[in-house]
Amino acid sequence: MTNTKPNTKPTPNHTKPKNGPHAHRNLRILISGASVAGPALAHWLHRYGFTTTIVERAPALRDGGYAVDFRGGAHLSVLRRMGLLDAVEAARTGTGSMAYVNELGKPVAKLPADLFAGDVEILRGDLARILHDATAGHTEYVFGDSVTSLEEDADGVHVTFERGAPRRFDLVIGADGLHSATRRLAFGPEERFVRHLGVYCAIFTTGNHLGLDRTGHAYRTANRLVAMYSARHNTEAKAVFYFGSPELGLDRRDVVRQQAVLTEQFTGNGWQSDRLLHDMRYAPDFYFDSVAQVAMDHWTRGRVALVGDAAHCPSSLSGMGTGLALVGAYVLAGELAAAGGDHRLAFARYEEEMRAYAEGCRKMGDGVARLMVPGSRFTAGLLNRYYKLMPYLPGKDMAAKIARRAAENITLRDYTAAEVRTAPAVRAGR
Ligand SMILES: Cc1cc2nc3c(=O)[nH]c(=O)nc-3n(C[C@H](O)[C@H](O)[C@H](O)COP(=O)(O)OP(=O)(O)OC[C@H]3O[C@@H](n4cnc5c(N)ncnc54)[C@H](O)[C@@H]3O)c2cc1C
């Protein structure tokens, strides 16, 4: 893995709090979503002396799931500054290259590891667990609930929940992903911000019946791709399906209908398709969603801000979302601390710092979707041939280099001056 030195520049004077040290305002912060961006934000806010509550819709922390990756200096630098790089590296999947196979399962081409798995690859649920455990001692976690309304006044936000009693917070941050409820409540309906990229994706855990050893196999046909990769030291595997389709308007919670659609799409598709469709019915976890991006002119409004996929999801196929969520949390918390809790100043600085970076990461997701499932058999065959020849071509590392450049295209400010203002007990415990 790369070990790029942290790229730091001092916080400029105009972000310094006007009221001097210990002048934090807006101390009580509600975060919606306990996956990557939410707990990472809570980690930093606590270090700067804020008090955080995280509300998560799922009844408990969502374990396992698919593999996500970090690539390049900015991502690794934030993990290192959080003191979590070792824990993340210890839980890495160690997945190597991915092979494209023919109908008989014979490898015909290879996708290099750095393109497929970045510098450090980890299961999303394992990452969420590490972040949760690092924050549970100081953050209030409320599982099985969701924000239902946000009413802002001059001093704060009155928040109502599906289950819990209404509460007041100074600020509310939506870290609740692609289908963010916070975004809907504060900015408007999802259709205004979420763009379907013409591809659907399904993922679930299954047995490693192919005996894959830290690798994956993918089988591509016209408009479809089915794949398996090993996980958790080869003791299990993840089954992955992609297919091209216009928006289907499926209910996101209707798993029966989603599985029926997948069955229609992949029955008789060849290789492991039928076997995996059978396994799907017994999977402990089943994820199905549109491959989509989020584009917004602003990520903040009044006392509400968005972070991670809720603000700028670059799509699940970009390989950028997790690092982007982590960097966004670092910047948002840092700017809040640097501004002494002045949300107007901090939110403006957050948008300014993150805009170009998020845009660059989003571009990575633009073309990948259609490349993943080319519309015709001819193009699918051509792509397989290209991957086969790729190791011998002069531009063989180009795609990985472009991805790395996008992931590193931010100069992380050093917010440690803001950290000095936090309570001594917080500093001692870090
Ligand atoms: C199939 C797939 C493969 C991916 N592969 C990669 C990859 O290889 N590399 C990479 O970098 N990224 C990858 N990603 C993207 C990555 O998972 C996300 O970018 C990243 O998890 C963003 O983190 P987040 O915390 O912003 O949002 P999420 O991880 O989506 O978390 C949102 C959280 O909010 C919760 N929530 C939702 N609604 C509510 C509500 N109303 N109230 C309270 N809580 C709520 C959810 O339960 C969830 O815990 C992939 C994504 C998918 C779906």
Instruction: Dump strand ranges (E) for 175-282.
Output: 194-206, 216-221, 224-231, 236-244
* Bridge partners of residue 413, in order along the sequence: 9
Kindly report the CATH number assigned to the domain that includes residue 75. Answer: 3.50.50.60
Identify the CA nearest to 230 among candidates 217, 219, 215, 218: 215
Q: How far is the CA of 65 from the centre of ligand 1 (A)?
A: 10
Question: Using CA positions, which residue lies closest to atom 6 of ligand 1?
Answer: 68
* Bridge partners of residue 227, in order along the sequence: 218, 240
| Count of the separate structural domains present in the chain | 1
Q: Is 217 left (phi over 0), alpha (psi -120 to 50) or beta?
A: beta
Angle, alpha carbons 70-72-73 (nearest 5°): 115
The finding on whether 46 has its CB within 6 A of some atom of ligand 1 is: no
Domain-embedded: residue 184? yes
Burial of 282: CB neighbours in 10 Å, binned 0-12, 13-18, 19+: exposed
Q: How far is the CA of 42 from the centre of ligand 1 (A)?
A: 16
Q: How far is the CA of 182 from the centre of ligand 1 (A)?
A: 14
- How far lies 94's CA from each of 63, 90, 127, in Å? 18, 10, 14
The finding on whether 311 has its CB within 6 A of some atom of ligand 1 is: no
Integer Cα distance of 242 and 265 in angstroms: 10
Is the CB of residue 319 less than 8 Å from the CB of residue 69? yes
The finding on whether 36 has its CB within 6 A of some atom of ligand 1 is: yes
Nearest atom within ligand 1 for CA of residue 176: 34
What pLDDT is stored for residue 67 in this prediction? 87
| SS3 readout for 66-103 | CEEEECHHHHHHHHHHHCCHHHHHHCCCCCCCEEEECC
Domain-embedded: residue 3? no
318: helix, strand or coil: coil
User: Domain range spanning residue 157?
Assistant: 8-428
In sequence order, what are the residues at sequence separation of 6 or more whose Cβ sits closer than 8 angstroms to the Cβ of residue 47?
333, 419, 422, 426, 430
Domain-embedded: residue 410? yes
Is the CB of residue 293 less than 8 Å from the CB of residue 194? yes
Is the CB of residue 216 less than 8 Å from the CB of residue 99? yes
Q: How far is the CA of 36 from the centre of ligand 1 (A)?
A: 7
The finding on whether 93 has its CB within 6 A of some atom of ligand 1 is: no
* Bridge partners of residue 9, in order along the sequence: 413
What pLDDT is stored for residue 9 in this prediction? 42
- Which segments of the chain have a pLDDT < 70? 1-24, 112-117, 390-396, 418-430
241: helix, strand or coil: strand
Domain-embedded: residue 1? no
Q: How far is the CA of 10 from the centre of ligand 1 (A)?
A: 31
The finding on whether 119 has its CB within 6 A of some atom of ligand 1 is: no
The finding on whether 316 has its CB within 6 A of some atom of ligand 1 is: yes
Is the CB of residue 62 less than 8 Å from the CB of residue 83? no
* Tens digits of residue pLDDT in 130-170: 999 999 999 999 999 999 999 999 999 999 999 999 999 99
- Residue 225 phi/psi, 5-degree rounding, is -145, 130
* Tens digits of residue pLDDT in 249-303: 999 999 999 999 999 999 999 999 999 999 999 999 999 999 999 999 999 999 9
The finding on whether 42 has its CB within 6 A of some atom of ligand 1 is: no
Domain-embedded: residue 44? yes
Cβ atoms within 10 Å, residue 235: 9
229: helix, strand or coil: strand
Is the CB of residue 82 less than 8 Å from the CB of residue 32? no
Domain-embedded: residue 295? yes
Domain-embedded: residue 2? no
Domain-embedded: residue 201? yes
Chain centroid to Cα 394, Å, comes to 32
What pLDDT is stored for residue 110 in this prediction? 79
Integer Cα distance of 56 and 173 in angstroms: 12
What pLDDT is stored for residue 200 in this prediction? 96
The finding on whether 55 has its CB within 6 A of some atom of ligand 1 is: yes
